Amino acid sequence: MSAVLQLQLDQPPTRSQSVHGTVVTVRQVADDDGTYPDQPFETALVVEGGQFGTSIEVPHGQYRLEARLPSGRVLRKSRTLAVNAHELVRFDTGGSSHEWLAWQTISGNVAPLDVYEERRKDFSARDSDRSFTKIFRGGPDFDAGLSRPDGAPGVWLPSDFGSGGVSAGGSDEAEGYFELGTGISRRVNLPVDAATDLFAPIRIPPLFVWVSATMESLSVHDQLDAFVDHQADPMVSLWSARFSNDNSDWQVPDGAEGPARRVAAIVALESATLLAFLPVPWTDQNGHPAEIELLHDLSIPNDRGLRVSVVDGERSALLSYLGSSRMVEAAMAFDARQFGEQVLLEMEAKRRNPLAAAAAAYVGLTFPAGDERRDRWSPWLTNLMNWFPAIPDGAILCARDIIERARTEEHLKLALDALTIGFMRGPPYFSAGVRHLLDGLSLFTAKAERFGAPRETVQAMHAQVANFALLTDPNQTFTVLKLRPGFLHA
């Protein structure tokens, strides 16, 4: 005999009426007699926010429920269910300052309501008398090749590039400086009214562009049109964009060498240029283009306030746990059986959404090599590498799996080959990929010849990845870079 648990989160749907998910663990701790059952019921499921939530049929008895939010908060409830009972359990996530920030708060991208309000007061008091300078780059097309003023290939700059303003026709020509030959620039000073949201600043949206990138340089091809919705208060802006699922530009042409074209978002500030590699195209579980959210929080220090999210139901939960400090949290949140199935399903569906498969595999690496829950899908990492040459992450994941299973030098040679392929394909879509690539190459820098590669080549790759890693924010799901001000300069 059974009962029904109806689980809800107090997270309203987003403006597009899409919803995100959060993992809830359901554990039976006692039966009707108050004793621990011989075979207790236990599972984990993704509960979507909104009006209806998620229902599950369970044996009657006493239960302990845990909602493990991507932000790291754990919400706990206890319930005793009689036979045929239908129990509504609603988790209070603490609320957010705005409805449009509900999921961003749950995921940890935005502080909880009380902290957010205090932070906003401090921010407004500090900046009420200043103007924010935004730099917008537009124009019909861009030069495909970016270079330094001396004509040498462009090189990513380390993040300690100094400070200083940017002018519409500035002359800063430090080494590594990138320039666009045909861009059009506008300088816009936007006053901030600290007293009320009614006069929140009009934020210039990010610039969406097609780019090709290596670990050493970037080429900007042309601007990309996208439908963009926007919400803001004086401290935080949230842009929501949808892109076509036409991936003809995204694929690597047959016989082509080097990295594929991909979509990037660029936010130009007075003190830095922020560049995010977007997970596009991303097909949601209904086969439609997913909504991509870009959040920029001006109160985050050191210009690290740009966050990228995907609105895709259950996958949103998986993605939100992908920050460096949440990888183990993700595997804990999904119980062993349920999470193993989630990764397996995403890997099986990799032709429909290879980026979602890569995201699941990154979290799935928290299962040790040899674990049945990992062994069921890890052989398919080779296909993720070979079938999708536009995605560096497939090769990096494959290399990491081989390294953890290696028993012979031949295995390690295969791992180094896969790392080299990942390196040649350019920056990973996921920040976890940057860490795995750097860690993997570190194993071979001193003894590359034993595995069929020149030591100088491996050391050069490692140095480039190490320099690139300095630009990234390791606590992000996707790869977001902090670059020098005026990175895009007319």
Local structure of 479: helix, strand or coil = coil
Closest CA to 164 of 151, 173, 152, 154: 173
Q: Which two tokens stand for residue 14?
A: 């987003």
Asked if 307 and 109 count as a contact pair (C-beta separation under 8 A), the reply is yes
Q: Which two tokens stand for residue 406?
A: 């290696």
In sequence order, the β-bridge partners of residue 294 are 239, 308
pLDDT of residue 17: 42
pLDDT of residue 158: 35
Q: Cα(362)–Cα(339) distance, rounded to whole angstroms?
A: 12
Q: What are the residue ranges of CATH 2.60.40.10 in the chain?
A: 2-91
pLDDT of residue 19: 54
Per DSSP, 276 falls in state E
Asked if 16 and 97 count as a contact pair (C-beta separation under 8 A), the reply is no
- CA dihedral defined by 29, 31, 36, 40, rounded to 10 degrees? -70
pLDDT of residue 333: 54
The architecture (CATH level 2) of 2-91 comes to Sandwich (2.60)
pLDDT of residue 398: 97
- pLDDT tens across the length of the chain (490 residues): 689 999 987 765 444 444 566 778 899 999 888 889 888 998 877 786 666 778 999 999 999 998 877 777 788 999 999 999 999 998 887 777 887 887 788 777 888 788 888 888 887 766 544 433 333 333 323 332 333 334 333 444 433 333 332 222 233 322 222 332 223 222 223 233 322 333 333 355 788 989 899 998 888 888 887 778 888 888 888 998 888 766 554 555 555 556 788 999 998 888 888 999 999 999 888 888 888 999 998 888 778 889 998 888 778 777 877 764 566 656 655 554 566 788 888 999 999 999 999 999 998 888 888 888 889 999 999 999 999 999 999 999 999 999 999 999 999 999 999 999 999 999 999 999 999 999 999 999 999 889 989 999 999 999 999 999 999 988 889 999 998 887 765 3
Q: Cα(63)–Cα(48) distance, rounded to whole angstroms?
A: 20
Q: Cα(233)–Cα(248) distance, rounded to whole angstroms?
A: 37
Q: Which residues are CB-neighbours of 215 under 8 A, at least 6 positions away?
A: 156, 423, 426, 427, 461, 464, 465, 467, 468
